[in-house]
Chains A and B, each alone.
Chain A
Amino acid sequence: MNDTSATLRKTSLYSRHVAMGARMVSFGGWEMPVQYSSITEEHLAVRRAAGLFDVSHMGEIEIAGDDALAAVQRISTNDASSLEIGHAQYSVLSTKAGTFVDDLLVYRLADSHYLLVVNASCIESDFAWIQQNIQGIGDAMAVNTSSRYALIAVQGPRALAILQTLTEVELDRIGYYRFTTGEVASIRATISRTGYTGEDGFEVFVPSQGADRLWDALLSAGDGEGLRPAGLGARDTLRLEAAMRLSGQDVDDTTTVLEAGLGWTIGWDKPAFIGREALVRQRETGVTSKLVGFEMVGRGIARHGYRVLRDGEAVGRVTSGTRTPFLERAVGLAYVPREMAEPGTGLEIEIRDRPVEAKVVLLPFYKRDKG
């Protein structure tokens, strides 16, 4: 692995991760911490107290200009026309076939200014695709501003209390999928009540040069609150328990937005967007394959790439699978034929040449208690 490390990108917090003894791995072209101590412990810390994540590898693309809304409307599936300043929405960059270029969050920063947060491994390709597809829209310009930002996530039931000690902004007044700007640890920041863990929490954008200071401040603020740094390993198991799709793995250019069960991200009533015709057609005919959640009934853990069997024949594939630390169950996501997508349906997953019994279950696997 040493020969490739020179070409891997590092976030502003790289030296912090190494100093804290994190195990570093290559992920989407970045050298990132996969775990600091134990994936299970980090996962449980997020469910029970709080976790601190460096997600600076995520990409930021800004679209500005009088016709910025028209540009955003064309390239993403969700309807951004009702998005107010200070609001964010989950959306999809769709191909003409209705499959995924990537998934993303769209933030409305100002009247004619949007911020798109995209996946790390897709930054350059998304940016090129966006530039190409907003040509001719008029006054709309896309800029890849990824290198300007560090992004730090604080997630878990104690996240608000911990972050609140570092800012005057009244965090409990920021609704879910809302954001605001203000100072955190004396650093100018955009504070967003979003995340990828299934817990309450915040994602904080700061200028790259402020990342170390914010990271240190959050670690001190979380001392005594049970806050732990958490790596990509826990991020993956947390998002899977919450049934959030992973771009490039659960959703990609071979699966449509409808097959992925993300029809709610489609603004059917808005003007044309890329992929609309294909998706309208598929809505009429119905999907033949569908992403479902399943739980293992027999002994074994399903993993990405394993086959789903029916009467010994492969009829689908597992896109994500693990034994989740909080639920302590072997679960996963898989594409299966439509007629097998009902919760309760029995499945077989091929684990090292042996069929092992599983069953379709309702998603998400984990839903936090909002009490």
Chain B
Amino acid sequence: MYPDNLLYTREHEWVEVSDNGTMAQVGITDYAQQQLGDVVFVELPEVGQKFAAGAQFGSIESVKAVSDLYCPLAGKVVQVNADLIDRPESVNQLAHETWIIELELEGKPGSRVGVERLLNAREYGELVESQ
């Protein structure tokens, strides 16, 4: 259910850290999209904006609800997924493949600061089970 190549937060975001540890893509989990229902709007940050780990970087809205998006790792936004402006429903269709922002991670290249606080697929699966 939850891919092993991704890391997860308790706020139901996923992160894919690049092999060299310098970049990361961020999205929301399948559990999060199910809870939200039909996603109709994603508020994206500006490219170049910097966020601390845990800071709000945007929001995602379904027909019924608004949910904040939190940055799993500290870094600078180098790319936003502009396809989501016209096709926000992609998040519902393929949550784990639909990235929202790409970050250049803070800290020395490869230092993976903050990664230890993220959950692996098994831990995240257990968190979802317990909800």
A and B from one complex: yes
Q: Which residues of A contact B (CB under 8 A)?
A: 34-35, 38-40, 43, 233, 236-237, 299-301, 303, 322-323, 325, 330, 352
Q: Would you call A301 and B38 a contact (CB within 8 A)?
A: no
| Nearest neighbor of B61 in chain A, beta-carbon distance | A301
Q: Would you call A38 and B38 a contact (CB within 8 A)?
A: yes
Question: Given the complex of chains A and B, what is the CA–CA distance between A301 and B66 in angstroms?
Answer: 9
CB contacts (< 8 Å) of B41 on chain A: these are 299-301, 323, 330
Min CB distance A176 to B, Å, is 28
CB contacts (< 8 Å) of A38 on chain B: these are 37-38
Query: Nearest 7 pairs between A and B by C-beta?
Result: A323-B40, A40-B38, A39-B63, A38-B38, A301-B41, A233-B64, A301-B61
Q: Would you call A39 and B43 a contact (CB within 8 A)?
A: no
**22 residue pairs bridging A and B, Cβ less than 8 Å apart:** A34-B64, A35-B37, A38-B38, A39-B37, A39-B38, A39-B62, A39-B63, A39-B64, A40-B63, A43-B63, A233-B37, A233-B63, A236-B64, A299-B41, A299-B85, A300-B41, A301-B66, A303-B66, A323-B40, A325-B63, A330-B41, A352-B43
Chain B contact residues, majority secondary structure: strand
- Is residue B111 within 8 Å, beta carbon to beta carbon, of the partner chain? no
- Is residue B18 within 8 Å, beta carbon to beta carbon, of the partner chain? no
- Is residue B59 within 8 Å, beta carbon to beta carbon, of the partner chain? yes
Min CB distance B68 to A, Å, is 9
Question: Given the complex of chains A and B, what is the CA–CA distance between A305 and B64 in angstroms?
Answer: 14
Chain B interface residue number, banded: 10 to 19
Contact with A along B20-51 (1 / 0, CB 8 A): 00000000000000000110110100000000
Min CB distance A283 to B, Å, is 37
Q: Would you call A352 and B37 a contact (CB within 8 A)?
A: no
Question: Given the complex of chains A and B, what is the CA–CA distance between A40 and B66 in angstroms?
Answer: 16
CB contacts (< 8 Å) of A299 on chain B: these are 41, 43, 85
Question: Given the complex of chains A and B, what is the CA–CA distance between A237 and B63 in angstroms?
Answer: 8
Q: Which residues of B contact A (CB under 8 A)?
A: 37-38, 40-41, 43, 59, 61-64, 66, 85
Question: Given the complex of chains A and B, what is the CA–CA distance between A40 and B38 in angstroms?
Answer: 7
Question: Given the complex of chains A and B, what is the CA–CA distance between A351 and B85 in angstroms?
Answer: 17
Question: Given the complex of chains A and B, what is the CA–CA distance between A300 and B38 in angstroms?
Answer: 16
CB contacts (< 8 Å) of B38 on chain A: these are 38-40, 325
Q: Would you call A301 and B40 a contact (CB within 8 A)?
A: yes
Q: Would you call A322 and B63 a contact (CB within 8 A)?
A: yes
Question: Given the complex of chains A and B, what is the CA–CA distance between A325 and B41 in angstroms?
Answer: 12
Known: A237-B63, A323-B61. 11 other contacts (CB 8 A): A39-B62, A233-B37, A299-B41, A300-B43, A301-B61, A301-B66, A323-B40, A323-B63, A325-B38, A330-B41, A352-B43
Question: Given the complex of chains A and B, what is the CA–CA distance between A40 and B37 in angstroms?
Answer: 9
Question: Given the complex of chains A and B, what is the CA–CA distance between A26 and B85 in angstroms?
Answer: 32
| Nearest neighbor of A38 in chain B, beta-carbon distance | B38
Min CB distance A25 to B, Å, is 10
| Nearest neighbor of B44 in chain A, beta-carbon distance | A299
Partner of A352, one of B59, B63, B64, B85: B59
| Nearest neighbor of B38 in chain A, beta-carbon distance | A40
CB contacts (< 8 Å) of B62 on chain A: these are 39
Question: Given the complex of chains A and B, what is the CA–CA distance between A299 and B38 in angstroms?
Answer: 18
Min CB distance A322 to B, Å, is 6
Min CB distance B73 to A, Å, is 23
CB contacts (< 8 Å) of A325 on chain B: these are 38, 63
Question: Given the complex of chains A and B, what is the CA–CA distance between A3 and B66 in angstroms?
Answer: 25
CB contacts (< 8 Å) of A233 on chain B: these are 37, 63-64
CB contacts (< 8 Å) of A301 on chain B: these are 40-41, 61, 66
CB contacts (< 8 Å) of B40 on chain A: these are 301, 323
